[in-house]
Amino acid sequence: MTEQPIDITRLDTAALVFPSGDVLSNEYQRTKRSKRIHSATYVGNIRHEKVAIVFQTETAIFKVQTTIWLNYGGCIYLKGNITIPVERVLSVDWL
């Protein structure tokens, strides 16, 4: 990832359009992403801690700081039923 992510609010994330296709190129990266999303979901539900989610749309790379409430059906769910497809997530980092 050479491009600097654009900060975006959780509410503005709802207006984005996501293409299909995984942004990560190998199985190791996808497994690491899955584990981090699982951990962030647990921490979000138990301690209400926020994480920085970096994800890619067709036009840009964005970063949102929020709590992950659910990881289900190939999407992560944020407050307000806002979703981000897991396959578009580049990284999840604790704040």
Half-sphere exposure of 56 (CA within 13 A, CB side): 14
Considering the domain boundaries, does residue 1 fall inside one?
Answer: no
Considering the domain boundaries, does residue 39 fall inside one?
Answer: yes
Query: What local confidence, expressed as pLDDT, does residue 3 receive?
Result: 82
- Mean pLDDT, rounded, for 46-66: 97
Q: Say what the pTM is.
A: 0.95
- Mean pLDDT, rounded, for 16-44: 97
Query: What local confidence, expressed as pLDDT, does residue 44 receive?
Result: 94
- Phi and psi at residue 88, to the nearest 5°: -100, -5
Range of the domain at 50: 6-94
Considering the domain boundaries, does residue 88 fall inside one?
Answer: yes
Considering the domain boundaries, does residue 30 fall inside one?
Answer: yes
The CATH number for 52's domain is: 2.30.30
Number of domains in the chain: 1
- The mean pLDDT value of the chain amounts to 96
pLDDT tier at 56, thresholds 50, 70, 90: very high
Whether residue 71 contacts residue 37, with contact meaning beta carbons closer than 8 Å, is answered with yes
Query: What local confidence, expressed as pLDDT, does residue 2 receive?
Result: 63
Query: What local confidence, expressed as pLDDT, does residue 1 receive?
Result: 47
Rounded to whole angstroms, how far apart are CA atoms 78 and 21?
21
